Structure 1
Amino acid sequence: MIRQNVDNYLLRFRRLFQQFCVDMYAKIEAERLLFITLNQTKLRMEQYIHLRHAISTEGNASDFGRLTILPATFVGSPLHMHEYTQDAMTYVRHYGRPDLFIAFTCNPKWIKIVQLLLPGQQSSDRHDITARVFRQKIRSLMHYIVRHRVFGDTRCWMYSIEWQKRGLPHVHILIWLVERIQPDQIDDIIFAEIPDPETDPDLHDVVITNMIHGPCGAINPQSPCMVDGKCSKRYPQNLTADTITGKDGYPLYRRRSSDDGDRTITVKVKGNDFVVDNSWVVPYSPLLSKTFRAHCNVEYCNSVKSIKYICKYVTKGSDMAAFGLQAPDPNDEITRYQIGRYVCCNEAIWRIFSFPIHERYPSVTHWAVHLENGQRVYFTPANTAQRAQNPPTTTLSSFFSICQSDPFARALIYSEMPLGMLHRRNFNVESKVM
């Protein structure tokens, strides 16, 4: 913590400070996983039909059930990320495709970060400041989009924080709008060209500083985006005079050539001058770029073909390292999670501060889907027999029970049940009032 009139020497240790933060969070996470491991025998899980069969045939279920599971309540676990992916797909099923996909990256040159650095420090020495400022920027960005309606009224949204290796934190955001963005409105919202330095010098400075990809390719084959000799981000893009619909779900934004009024800049790549034109510009929103002065990639989603990829990409989680190591128990989910865990200093500090990794609106309620007697049963050695005699009630079994006695419920499908019953109740209340 930063306290006035008190010099915290830990904040001056640079790389040792980073190592300290990673070690401390590793201890915190290890303790949480140890608690889950030690309580596996107290809380077991199995399908009800299998538990009933074990009781009827063997009479002893002390060794039954999966003994080592990593629940979805553990933030960052595979089940946790899978649930958020399914939540995103729920938004798609209910509201349709998202309108905008935004990637917002922390800028270490923000004034709020630079002002808090101690003499001689760089932003990479103080990831605690980076985390706090970026958290404030994310809240400001979402408030800007939702409350100020910069793209129109927002129907729903979700975002996920990521850290790639030792890179800065960045957030992936999906936005669903009440009124869809029409194809002829794309050029008014998203730009992929170098701005005019005379007309808007501030925007020109932000774009050439934060929104130019690479350059990569033959001039810089060691660029991180290069895979098998090609740019994985498909730069440079094709120049086109008008925005057209792409085949992969993204449109081909207007990138005019020199014949159509293209502007170019000259950058240094490995000591050599390289001319950058509009084909290297990352799509951006002028309003967001000028407001937050950071890398803020804005993409328009115009097809359902890329929706599953986008929803999985937003919730894919942090990087993991793979080892040629055989776990003692192939069913031990906690061990499998720990042996491949990759934690950088940025993520460690973010998690120590208890900042959220995922946020969304509106909330999604998970309803059970299972075969007959296939619901999950959570039991302890003390209540195994009682659980086997009385199967637990789930939302699906309750739905079938209501349909047997309520004709109105039989006209609804499973996913329509909550809103359908709520509308009927409101209608009955209004009828009584009238």
Structure 2
Amino acid sequence: MDFVVDNSWIVPYSPLISKTFKTHCDVEYCNSVNSIKYICKYATKGSDMAVFGFQSFNTNDEMARYRVGRYMNCNEAVWRIFAFPIHKCHPTVVHLAVHLENGQLVNFTASNVVQRAEIPPATTLTSFFVICQSDPFARTLLYSEMPRYYTWNASSKKFQRRKQGDTVPDYPDVRSTDALGHMYTVHPKNGECFYLRLLLVNMRGPTSFELLPTVNGTIFPIYRAASEELNLLENGTHCPSNP
């Protein structure tokens, strides 16, 4: 049996495209991630890395002997010369602190140690409590939903309402975006801090550390008891003991 073999058996092509550009154009149908990766790998694989070392007869310090060098090809060099964006992150992700009362990280010096001890610096969590005390809309939100409607000012350590974005129904002065809030993970063995995070995930508009473990008008002495009252834990045997 005879078979007719032409160039269509070699690579797929489009006669219209070949005639338009007066050259042969390979036409591929990307039906898997591997196909897309093959086509785009030369543009997205990133810069090559090269490792070179310096050897000195006067020292045996490995940190001084080895240096990591980076090779930049002509495409990336031109891209950087024209100040084109190198990367992009979308949507915006805001990291939200999780800590017990007066348990935030504090940086101090010998001159301001007393002041920092008396007035610890504000965090996203303490600012969330403060804004819930005066803002009715904030009291309707979970802690992780704050970055969608508020921006975090790192210099003043305060949440501020967004001035750009979509209007929120029933709240004409509030704007929303697609920003995400990411709460830091807390290990279950970290005692009350784990249960505090559990309450923050499920309770809206708390105004303080003391009032956070409030369930049906009852203020529980520890966050674990409030979590059990809200049925956020299966039973007592699943709760890690407090240190």
TM over 0.5: no
Bigger helix fraction: 1
- The structure with higher relative contact order (CA 8 Å, sep 6+) is 1
Which is greater in Rg? Answer: 2
